[in-house]
Amino acid sequence: MRGLKKIKKSIFGYDIFISYSRLDSLQYAYSIAKLLINDKYECYIDQLVSRAPGKDITPAIKKAIRKSTAFILIGSAGAQNSKSVHQEVTLFLSTKKNNPVIPISINNSICEKAIWYENIAGIQPKTDSIQNLKDGKPDETVIQQIRDALTFTKKSIRLRKIAFAILAAVTVVTIVAFFITILQVNIAQEANRNEQRANVLADSATKQANSAQERQRTAEILATKAIYEKKLAVSETGKAIQNQQFAEYKASVAYDKERKSNLVANSNYLITRSNLLENKFFAVDTALLAYDIHPSDLADSNVSTLFLKYPFIYTSNLDEGEKLEKEFTDPRIYVEAVQKDSLPGLEIHFVKKIDNVRIRTLKYNLHNAEIYKDAEVFQQESTYLILLKTFIIVRNLEQNYILSYDSNFNLLKSNKVEFTHTQVDFNSIKGLFMYKINNVTNYIVVLDNLIGEGFALDNIIRFEFDKSDIKIENVIFNEKSTFLVTKILTGLFIQKIKPDRSDDPFLGTSLYLPGIFPDRFFFIGNRFLGLLMSDEFYVLDLDLNPNVANGHLSVSEIANNRKSRKEDFNRYLKTKNAVQ
């Protein structure tokens, strides 16, 4: 599935970055990308929504350039004066001097007129016609020349490097754990010394304040005396007033210096403390408090870093989380699929959980020559899915079927299942889900390391799979909001399923939370996700995606964002309880 591929791209980077002008080269650039992807290259090309033409390239594009091994420049007339193309070429050459740069000159547009020409002067460009650019179909000769120029090794080298990096990381983690222990002792000692210094500063401030008060009283005496002697020496009166104002000014400066010193010390202590807290929600709260006390660049960066790691909007104890889990996950009606006395056909029982009373029994049978070997039930909010494994005596074949029933226990569909992947293990299925987008019924099946998407055609559901080396531990799906949440070995992966059936690999919205390993997780309505981790309960707003937008939010926007979404969550719970 494209979501799992996106995790690998985040870790390993890209083989090729494609730079082009949207004024005239959009379709041409996408055609080159798709052809190279078919050759198993990882390509990056910016999405239509990422930025407006003529603007500076975004941090996400800069990061992709730094993680790319080769650079393809589509030199069209529209690219000659493109500020973005100029920035992309300059950044790649500044970080990847010895890596391949492959320019494509459209109708001899790579010339001295281009503002970026001097960056690639001396590199022999590939050539293509203006007609191919308009048609969005690069000449096959150009594509072959690009393939010949790409002599580097692709993903296999990165995988070996990452294996070595993991071994090095284990060693570093062990060393860091030792130094963290020492650091905690030093922090405690430093906190004690800070307290002592604060007491000394407080005593000094008190003395200075008393001294200032004494000077003020003296100045007042002088002012009174000056008024009395005004007739005799008007100039002396003015001098006394100036002396009084100067004394007050010096006392104010001393107080401000002392106050600023205390604020800086307290802010730095809270920054350190925020990175040691086990409660991830309180860690962000502490970082925000450090910024409020002293809004330094260090405090600002610390808030953004922690929020990218822990974008939670609410936290509570484990008891509240378990109550909500039971409320939102315990089915009021459960389904049984039973075969009676080894006879053909199947009985579907809908049972009321509270008193275990059977409220509906339906029979299902394809034809008399069929024996049901297995029946696994998957329950959603408004539908029940039953996956059957059958043995047909006449043709000596095993076949799979999916039965779907609505909340009123009516049979919606009965579809035969076909898997395009030949090694699908029927017993390893972790989840089966159905949802509708634009009146089209879609299906998702999740196995140990496979996620398949399918849709029905002529009463046959064909599932297509993307093979992955990442083991899937658990998965849940919300059929209304189409959020798919997967727990893998490295963290939590959340994907928004979109109504897209094209081969374009650049579409899709996902959120990856590395290092987050909940014991259990569940949907709270269609928008919120509850996570039970250790002794804490956390809530994540699924519409909140720090991997995309919040990295560019200011500290005040992050604080207001968390506050408003927490209020939305509490308001949702109150509304739901009132309805019940």
Instruction: State the pLDDT at residue 11.
Output: 62
pLDDT at 7 over 80: no
Q: How many domains, the chain?
A: 3
Q: Please give the structure tokens belonging to residue 23.
A: 């004024």
Instruction: State the pLDDT at residue 550.
Output: 47
Instruction: State the pLDDT at residue 28.
Output: 95
Q: Is residue 18, in this structure, part of any structural domain at all?
A: yes
Task: Name the residue type at position 389.
Answer: K
| Locus of tokens 């500020």 | 83
Task: Name the residue type at position 183.
Answer: L
Q: Is residue 266, in this structure, part of any structural domain at all?
A: yes
Instruction: State the pLDDT at residue 340.
Output: 67
Q: Is the entire prediction scored with pTM above 0.95?
A: no
Quote the CA–CA distance of 175 and 177 in Å, as a whole number. 5
Q: Is residue 184, in this structure, part of any structural domain at all?
A: yes
Same domain, 198 and 256: yes
Instruction: State the pLDDT at residue 452.
Output: 83
Instruction: State the pLDDT at residue 49.
Output: 39
Q: What percent of the chain has pLDDT over 90?
A: 30
CATH label of the domain that carries residue 147: 3.40.50.10140
Beta strands in 47-142 (DSSP E): 68-75, 101-106, 126-128
- Taking only the tens place, the pLDDT of each residue in 315-356 is 999 999 999 988 888 777 777 777 766 666 677 887 877 777
Domain end position, chosen among 117, 152, 187: 152
Instruction: State the pLDDT at residue 219.
Output: 79
Coil, helix or strand at residue 97: coil
Beta-bridge mates of residue 530:
522, 539
Same domain, 96 and 124: yes
Residues in contact with 540: Cβ distance below 8 Å, sequence separation at least 6, in sequence order: 311, 312, 313, 528, 529, 531
pLDDT at 9 over 70: no
Q: Is residue 288, in this structure, part of any structural domain at all?
A: no
Same domain, 143 and 184: no
Q: Supply the mean pLDDT for the chain.
A: 80
Same domain, 99 and 173: no
Task: Name the residue type at position 551.
Answer: G
Judging by beta carbons within 10 Å of its beta carbon (0-12, 13-18, 19+), is residue 58 exposed, middle or buried?
middle
Domain containing 265 equals 159-276
Q: Is residue 299, in this structure, part of any structural domain at all?
A: no
Quote the CA–CA distance of 72 and 74 in Å, as a whole number. 7
Same domain, 533 and 425: yes
Same domain, 220 and 333: no
Cα 136 → chain centroid: 33
pLDDT at 135 over 90: yes
- Taking only the tens place, the pLDDT of each residue in 164-216 is 455 456 555 666 567 776 888 788 788 788 888 878 888 887 888 788 788 88
- Taking only the tens place, the pLDDT of each residue in 465-482 is 766 667 888 999 988 888
Length of the chain: 580
Domain end position, chosen among 241, 276, 311: 276
Please give the C-alpha separations between residue 512 and each of 52, 66, 166, in angstroms, as whole numbers: 26, 20, 19
**Alpha-carbon dihedral angle through residues 228, 234, 237, 239, given to the nearest 10 degrees:** -160
Going by DSSP bridges, is the β-strand pair 346-352/520-524 parallel, antiparallel, or unpaired?
Answer: unpaired
Q: Is residue 340, in this structure, part of any structural domain at all?
A: yes
**Alpha-carbon dihedral angle through residues 284, 285, 291, 294, given to the nearest 10 degrees:** -140
Q: What is the mean pLDDT of residues 407-416?
A: 83
Q: In 10 A of CB 494, how many CB atoms? A: 20
**More confident call, 498 vs 567:** 567
Quote the CA–CA distance of 103 and 74 in Å, as a whole number. 6
Q: What percent of the chain has pLDDT over 70?
A: 79
Quote the CA–CA distance of 363 and 349 in Å, as a whole number. 9
Coil, helix or strand at residue 419: strand
Same domain, 376 and 449: yes
pLDDT at 130 over 90: yes
Same domain, 368 and 512: yes
Domain end position, chosen among 152, 178, 210: 152
pLDDT at 396 over 60: no
SS (H, E, C) 513-541: EECCCCCEEEEECCCEEEEEECCEEEEEE
Instruction: State the pLDDT at residue 508.
Output: 52
Same domain, 60 and 109: yes
Q: Is residue 417, in this structure, part of any structural domain at all?
A: yes
Same domain, 179 and 116: no
Same domain, 244 and 347: no
Instruction: State the pLDDT at residue 19.
Output: 95
Quote the CA–CA distance of 46 and 44 in Å, as a whole number. 7
Task: Name the residue type at position 119.
Answer: N
Q: Which of 149, 43, 58, 97 is nearest to 89 (CA)?
A: 97
The model's confidence at residue 384, banded by pLDDT at 50, 70 and 90, is: confident
Same domain, 387 and 532: yes
Quote the CA–CA distance of 110 and 69 in Å, as a whole number. 22
Instruction: State the pLDDT at residue 157.
Output: 42
pLDDT at 47 over 50: yes
Beta strands in 95-178 (DSSP E): 101-106, 126-128
Q: Kindly tell me the number of DSSP H helices and DSSP E strands found in the chain.
A: 13, 24
Q: Which of 371, 461, 377 is nearest to 417 (CA)?
A: 461
Quote the CA–CA distance of 50 and 56 in Å, as a whole number. 11
Q: Is residue 6, in this structure, part of any structural domain at all?
A: no
- Alpha-helical (H) ranges within 310-429 are 318-329
Instruction: State the pLDDT at residue 539.
Output: 94
